[in-house]
Structure 1
């Protein structure tokens, strides 16, 4: 495009025009163009003023060329208008759809075409592809001329290949290995399954996030001076991969020194608040522990009716012994109240769903920390693509207004999955879930799980805030059928289970539930042999089958504790679950079932090795007039005790068969106890393979069969008391894009002669 001003005016030359004529304009009115020139008729005009008039017309942005041609007492303004955009097309794009690209650019149909704007739009599109890791993408804007001074704008897109992160390495790290730090980052190295994962591409936003999570990782472990000096991405010559190098400075690890609490408020007893703190001197310093301590102290003040109390952490650094003294100073904050909470952007989600995440309501004292925590809870809902919580001054200086602006996103999901295990074979899982049912924050789900030997259909409903309180209500309805090769009978079961769950303390919860179930053991066809037929199941199982369909109506609870919620050490965790169910509130069965499970985990050797110990036990006390059945008693599966088939250990019926052989039916037991010890560690293989190793040792027993139909047993039941079995093994853990695979190779070093071993176990759970 060229812009011509003729003739070239000498600086001393002047003109006087009595008339101005415009030529070449089609859309823009002549008077409008004359007004751009801003020249007064009949008055002398210098060459400089003509140049200024030319520039003003050009700066209007609607003309491709402009000429000012003096002709006697007349001035002729010749213009060529920029064409208008008839339509915009995108060619060559597959990864980003047309409608998404149209939202990115500023050029639009029926607007004036500007080459500079088209170039900027092309850069914007290329940046969008770069954000997906396609740094080699190229976008070229082209125009196709149409009649009536119109053009079609076409963006020709060469998407290019994704730029994979071939290697992630660190410089300056001494405490934690590259392998451990790579597990922290969101950016991953390209591996064998690079086709199925998107985290091995170089994306700038992800790198910024990685810098922050890396800093959080070190700070939570006491390295207060840690910093990321630089992140350098070196692109290969072929521009198809990068080598990412992260330069860090770790610094020294600090511990908590002297912990004190001071109070500037008369009604707040500093000694009382100090005794409530969990943090002790010698604990590795972490900003998260400080934040939790502040929240706990301010919550305690609120419970005592002390408003506007604020806790200020005052940290004193001791470089000599690498400690940080922390003084929690309780001061009086400004007397500011919450005037109101305004919520915008929620078209589906009800206001109350968002308000439930605030512990403050209109009229309460304003606590900035609580507002920040509420913002995190809103984001954690997963209902919104974006959520912003801001505070502004209200109708007076002593009041504030909390503004919540959200942008909703789809909350329903359809999941299709496949599963395989050596016990149940191949299976298909289909799930339909809506996490924000009718905008009420409720969860509605329906799942179908089918395998070669089992089927299950479950309808679930969850109300996280029953009656507006911090009380979760669950309701599950389901039916299931099994046709297991490990049992000589089929089963059918239907159940109805409502439950209430609430927090007892910060790290403990209590679930109270009612369960109604109808279950039945179904007989299989007899087996033929040369001399006749015999039942496929032994006498004990047949007597249990003869009981027919039985219902149970039980009331139970589960008490859970998780130290990771408020623990002071991120490398140590302890969980506990204790539960009991009493059946006898109607139905055909009466029993008391109790279970307990304890899990302790610790990471050692700079978090390279994970040690885990699990203790699991259960007891069934049958109180009904009839006998319990195998499906009522405990049966150990490989997920509880490795090295054996499902039902591979415990009491068994070995009554003789009509063909001269004997039955071998597992019957389950009334009591079990299992201890599992695991160690997981790197194998020294490339990190991108996702392979780790493990060693395990399991010891356990299943016994107790006092409520069996004694005449039916005929004295052929073995393993009533049993013994503790011991199993050792090696595991290969493979983290894939499909899900975690675990290969267990085991050997029972101590067992009973009638046990059924299983030396190999593979479990794969996949979602697509």
Structure 2
């Protein structure tokens, strides 16, 4: 303590009674005598013991108004002699660099204009020290200093020595046999200090984060069938130099269990269990996961809702078989408790509107309370990506048959700013910027735009999505884009394309959605230069089908405006499917176009893929195939409408392969193609570097082709011509965002293809 208080003390010999007819107050300037006497509570003419005098002294001292207090009995007079604490004129922080004054002010309860309280100043010192400890600076020292300013006023200064950040030097595990330390570190939110120890904040020691890590470990093991998993202890030891922590998780894995016999029983009179049993997706022999079980229970309970049975529940009854590590599951259809949701209370959302959170609940006020639905709503809120933390709990309502659902959230960043960089031998350096906001103005709306440029090409796109049109699971979208090329890849023509559409997207199945859209496209091919190779006639009558070069005929059509109507069906089980270790996706889209000069066409694309996680998620395998066809019903296709493999096939430059017109000087006018197909296979895996470096590796191979020009015209070179490229990838999680480096080498190409051996992409969040 830097303050000292003085007082008179009463020894046992002094233990006697006093009677004071007069009480005087001395030394007070700011506090009036009546207030001082009020704290003392000594009544005139009343017998007072020594213990009561001591209690009066304690009350005066604890008031925080006085620096010293002295009680002096003098016959029938009690003299109260005080020295007042000064008034705080100003509060300063000195030496703080890592935390500014705005961060420190909220934890300091001493305030200018109030009486200086030594006890409160000590509490403020502790609060500042704890704030620095939360930032990993456990060596921070705070010293209060009083600066007299006269007239009973002082300045209060907190001198701060921040010290160094105390990092987590090592995270280790005891008791893990099924998973390596390397794999388990990837589960934790806490990270070891690595290459970016100056920038990364997750490698600083925060006690609350260790508790969160224990929950992450439990979820990880439970999702892999280890139903008896326990975190026995989580210890953190600071190094002797007090510059680093060593964190150790002592765990008990238990045995991995799989699904055994699966049965469905009905305990509700008059209910047909057959429709419920049809929704059972549990399979004997699969690894037990709570997610898979909950998904099946939810599917079955949705049948009850569709039948109007509001209080029917499906209750899992589990029987353990220790000998063969299986769990027999009896899915019992029962009548649940008749509890009604009284209200849903939402707190902590400073940006996100209540309705964005509330629509994640399938139930509302007045509906039956379903604990499983409450858990699923919490998962949907987390999946939004708007919040760093989400807690959803139910408590008793105003009556026995009602409940209140409390939702507590903590906001996080929802915007991303991306920078992309690519390099090609023929095109040089390409650059693009992307912006997206997934929670625009806190309404849950998505906004994005992208701007890209490479030599000879510029493009811009904008998108907006309202995910809950009319309060339903109905997405309304607006998309617009503009693209222009000027002699791109040494071609002898320019293009301009402006497009836009509006769309509605809605679910058609548990994992599938359907989008319908209507739009318009305006484009033009211009400034065609007849710099063709020898033997090609550039001035043949472009009005005759098949005559003249293809780009001259495109230019002769002038500006074209095409109306579009289309749809996209998509199915994706990679996230939230029945098996967390594998999933597939499928997408099929068609657009029907009708434009100027009676031009009509159907543009069709399809894509399918599969993802598998092996060896405790250390190895991720992906396989994809996609293709497209442009079928002209009347008129000729244009270079702005045909497919390219830009961003679809690695190893080749943008618009660097496919049908072309030979041009003078050995260059080629790329024309795009009416058909394309590309198959991709890749693997992602650790490469032996410490997990805290955030670097993983990968290999890939792309195989595909782009071909077919309707009415090809003079000199056009066309053909199926299969291409293939193989390469390696580096995935690097950095403080500015994830980086991906692709190094590729074409292993099968055509003579006039233009190759590209390196790509770099950057994405950062804000």
TM-score (norm 2): 0.89
Kindly indicate whether the alpha-carbon contact (under 8 Å) linking 2:275 and 2:303 is maintained by their aligned counterparts in 1: no
- What does residue range 205-604 of structure 1 map to in structure 2 within 5 Å? 205-341=208-344, 352-378=355-381, 380-381=383-384, 391=394, 396-402=399-405, 417-423=418-424, 425-429=429-433, 431=435, 433=437, 435-437=439-441, 440-483=443-486, 484-485=488-489, 487-523=491-527, 539-584=549-594, 589-604=599-614
Residue 284 of structure 1: how far off its partner (Å): 0.3
Q: The residue matched to 1:201 in structure 2 has which SS?
A: coil
**Superposed CA offset, 1:496-551 (max 9, x none):** 1111111111211111122211122232667799xxxx99xx93323323333222
Residue 663 of structure 1: how far off its partner (Å): 4.8
**Superposed CA offset, 1:89-125 (max 9, x none):** 2222233332332212222223332223222222222
In structure 1, the partner of 2:628 is: 618
Kindly indicate whether the alpha-carbon contact (under 8 Å) linking 2:739 and 2:763 is maintained by their aligned counterparts in 1: no
Using a 3 Å threshold, how does the CA distance of structure 1 residues 727 and 361 change in structure 2: closer, same or farther? closer
Residue 411 of structure 1: how far off its partner (Å): 7.9
Among 635, 649, 656, the alignment partner of 2:644 is 635
Distance 1:761 1:432 in 2: 26
Matched, 1:650 2:651: no
Q: The residue matched to 1:144 in structure 2 has which SS?
A: strand
Among 675, 689, 693, the alignment partner of 2:679 is 675
Among 688, 691, 694, the alignment partner of 1:690 is 694
In structure 2, the partner of 1:182 is: 185
- Stretches of structure 2 that go unaligned for 5 or more consecutive residues are 540-547
Distance 2:362 2:711 in 1: 54
Kindly indicate whether the alpha-carbon contact (under 8 Å) linking 2:564 and 2:594 is maintained by their aligned counterparts in 1: yes
Kindly indicate whether the alpha-carbon contact (under 8 Å) linking 1:612 and 1:679 is maintained by their aligned counterparts in 2: yes
**Superposed CA offset, 1:214-266 (max 9, x none):** 21111100111222233333434443333433332222111011222222211
Kindly indicate whether the alpha-carbon contact (under 8 Å) linking 1:553 and 1:586 is maintained by their aligned counterparts in 2: no
TM-score (norm 1): 0.89
Using a 3 Å threshold, how does the CA distance of structure 1 residues 45 and 668 change in structure 2: closer, same or farther? closer
Kindly indicate whether the alpha-carbon contact (under 8 Å) linking 2:704 and 2:724 is maintained by their aligned counterparts in 1: yes
Aligned residues: 746
Distance 1:184 1:556 in 2: 42
Q: The residue matched to 2:297 in structure 1 has which SS?
A: helix
**Superposed CA offset, 1:280-320 (max 9, x none):** 11110111112222222222111111121123222221111
Distance 2:448 2:393 in 1: 34
Among 148, 151, 156, the alignment partner of 1:153 is 156
Kindly indicate whether the alpha-carbon contact (under 8 Å) linking 1:7 and 1:69 is maintained by their aligned counterparts in 2: no
Kindly indicate whether the alpha-carbon contact (under 8 Å) linking 1:486 and 1:647 is maintained by their aligned counterparts in 2: no
Kindly indicate whether the alpha-carbon contact (under 8 Å) linking 2:519 and 2:565 is maintained by their aligned counterparts in 1: yes
Residue 28 of structure 1: how far off its partner (Å): 2.9
In structure 1, the partner of 2:703 is: 699
In structure 2, the partner of 1:75 is: 78
Distance 2:404 2:685 in 1: 52
Using a 3 Å threshold, how does the CA distance of structure 1 residues 539 and 4 change in structure 2: closer, same or farther? same
Moved more, 553-562 or 387-396: 387-396
Residue 156 of structure 1: how far off its partner (Å): 1.7
- Stretches of structure 1 that go unaligned for 5 or more consecutive residues are none
Residue 177 of structure 1: how far off its partner (Å): 2.1
Distance 1:348 1:166 in 2: 36
Residue 132 of structure 1: how far off its partner (Å): 1.9
Kindly indicate whether the alpha-carbon contact (under 8 Å) linking 1:427 and 1:452 is maintained by their aligned counterparts in 2: no
Q: The residue matched to 1:755 in structure 2 has which SS?
A: coil
Residue 588 of structure 1: how far off its partner (Å): 6.0
Distance 1:28 1:564 in 2: 72
Matched, 1:761 2:753: no
Residue 679 of structure 1: how far off its partner (Å): 2.1
Distance 1:432 1:767 in 2: 11
Distance 2:695 2:395 in 1: 51
Distance 2:684 2:382 in 1: 33
Using a 3 Å threshold, how does the CA distance of structure 1 residues 188 and 587 change in structure 2: closer, same or farther? farther
Residue 39 of structure 1: how far off its partner (Å): 3.0
